[in-house]
């Protein structure tokens, strides 16, 4: 997608929050910029997996948007923002942990707050209603169902059902819900 949009004149930029999406796997293909700098090791992870907290990733996203907005004639853009939270081990920021019943819910709260910052920045820049927003996830979590703490070897509904939300007021009516099966590849 980044390659196609770049060929159509879009700026292409990615900000990812986990080592599994590092450029060494050629995931930066087609992007003008690919920010995959991680900050800390994930506790108990194999192969020394590293991550960056969602708040720090969004800080970098908002800085990029701000610089882009200062441009005399900003190009249309394709922006991929990856937030690793919510993801085990659940360690939400203290403020979000206080608002949530569980650490998992705290990380969902934190991710929601970060996405809200992006939406607000796009709105402030006057770009929100001209921007197609797509929100999804790579997997769900079992959270104890079938004796799985997170997601592991099995393919239960809890790990297969993920959010898929589109926002684009000129073409998509608000509140419309589709019950049709969808796959990430359909995006």
Spatial distance between the Cα atoms of 108 and 99, rounded to a whole number of angstroms: 11
Inter-residue contact 2 to 14 (CB < 8 Å): yes
CB-side exposure of 181: number of CA atoms within 13 Å?
2
Model's pTM, two decimal places?
0.86
Sequential pLDDT tens for the chain (187 residues): 999 999 999 999 999 998 888 999 999 999 999 999 987 666 655 556 788 889 999 999 999 999 988 876 678 999 999 998 888 788 898 999 999 998 888 988 999 999 999 999 999 999 999 999 999 887 767 666 766 766 666 676 766 777 888 999 999 989 998 888 888 887 8
């Amino acid at each position: 997608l980044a390659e196609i949009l770049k060929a159509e004149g879009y700026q292409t930029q990615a900000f990812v929050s986990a080592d599994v999406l590092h450029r060494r796997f050629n995931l930066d293909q087609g992007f003008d910029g690919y920010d995959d700098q991680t900050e800390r090791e994930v506790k108990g992870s194999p192969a020394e997996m590293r991550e960056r907290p969602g708040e720090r990733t969004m800080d970098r996203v908002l800085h990029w948007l701000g610089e882009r907005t200062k441009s005399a004639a900003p190009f249309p853009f394709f922006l991929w923002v990856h937030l690793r939270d919510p993801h085990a081990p659940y360690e939400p920021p203290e403020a979000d942990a206080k608002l949530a019943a569980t650490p998992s819910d705290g990380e969902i709260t934190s991710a929601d707050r970060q996405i809200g910052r992006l939406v607000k920045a796009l709105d402030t820049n006057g770009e929100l209603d001209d921007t197609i927003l797509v929100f999804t996830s790579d997997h769900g979590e079992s959270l104890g169902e079938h004796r799985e703490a997170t997601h592991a070897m099995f393919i239960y509904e809890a790990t297969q059902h993920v959010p898929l939300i589109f926002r684009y007021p000129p073409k998509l009516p608000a509140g419309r819900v589709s019950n049709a099966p969808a796959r990430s590849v359909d995006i």
